[in-house]
Chain A
Amino acid sequence: MSAPIIHMENIKKHYGNVIALNGVTFDLRAGECHCLLGDNGAGKSTFIKTMSGVHKPTEGSITFEGRPLSFDSPRDAMEAGIATVFQDLAMIPLMSVTRNFFMGREPTKGRGLFKRFDIDTANEITMAEMRKMGINLRGPDQAVGTLSGGERQTVAIARAVYFGAKVLILDEPTSALGVRQTANVLSTINRVRAQGIGVVFISHNVRHALAVGDRFTVLNRGQTLGTATRGEITAAQLQDLMAGGQEMAELEGSLGGTV
């Protein structure tokens, strides 16, 4: 496979005397889905916020497309091609899909005083992009509030892809979704990956991760416990790593292996 688009080496992040990340190493290649797994409090959120430019690491280096990089703001990261779809999605339910899709980056036509939002083009692009992702909108003016959770995820992903993301960070995209919608989002991830975009998929659901992931990195207590490639690791092993080993094994025994 090709060289990584983004490589993060030994990232540490301290908040005062709290050590949120204590040496995390992670890389991502174009066209792969790299799952970042970890239980609550493992440091997943801090880590992706570092990657998307919200936080600066206390220590460690980020290499993006072969160059050392330091983002000053999420905007810098966005412009470099790192798009993040957060859990809260940055979508406005009262606004139409088109208006959400182009929020902050509206296409215009005309000049000077007559420079205006090119709503027809915007509508067409939105419909086309959504269709590519397998969603048939009732119309481009349909309010985002009327979409299901999975469809909203897909709009957010489609938006990031359309605006040239090279790295797409998805923060627990399936955590609040039903079975059908989860399947939709996972197939969206598959489509995005096929376009050569690197996907970072954050989850604490091992089955969702195994369904689309190419590589799996497990975070625990602010540290990487190692990276495994698809086929090298089983769901049970991943689960154990995430939980930090022993207690989970005991629990699982008492629950009859259902977790």
Chain B
Amino acid sequence: MLARSLPMIGSRRSLRVLEHNALVYRAQWVMLLSGFFEPLFYLLSIGIGLNKLVGPLPVHGQFISYAKFVAPGMLATSAMNGAMIDSIFNTFFKLKISHVYDAILATPLDVTDIALGEVWWALARATMYSASFIICMAALGDAGSAWVVLCWPGAILTSLTFSCVGLAACTYVRTWQDFDLVTLVQLPLFLFSGTFFPITLYPQWLGEIVSFSPLYQSAALLRGLSLGQFDWIMIMRAGYLLAIALLGLYVAARRFKRILAP
């Protein structure tokens, strides 16, 4: 029913957009490779470096090493960055510079197929990247427990949320200069979302504001999964991420229609 009320369900044809992106990226394999190295850099620099300086932290009454605390936060951040960069920059280019989508609209695909296809692509990438991230986490001893495997779907959900938000955001971008605004949102989100330290360290009012951050919700969700500390609130967190994803996709599909087929 929900599906029907949203004008964005698209069709099986949206998979062709996935095929298209895979073909383009095959020619740019270096970019694809960078996605695998990024997590390693994150984990090595912040995890190993800061782990020496910062002592164990209490999470739900259990003391864990800083590396185990920060790794799921890094996974969430990496999922956010990957999804946002791809859906904002590359989609903007196709939408407004190269007009690739205009060409696609001359085929049986329609606007919703294109928007949905970009989401499939983001999910395909997220599936690969987050798997490699989690393997690195486990290899470096940063996984909180064997439950870390559940971080995989968790990270894919995070990518879904941010790629849908990015897709909606990119339709409002007018020039390359506007990308500074994206950084302006992304950076504080990264710094204040409790990825580096527990938000209980904030004054209460700030903590409450931060709890609206999807990155915070994702980091908290992934941390709980990594540590195997299950809690009903995790379902709320996942639901929040999914709701934002659907809202983003709804806005994106509408805006795509306005831009591409007015």
Chains A and B are bound partners: no
Q: Which A residues have a C-beta under 8 Å from some C-beta of B?
A: none
Q: Which B residues have a C-beta under 8 Å from some C-beta of A?
A: none
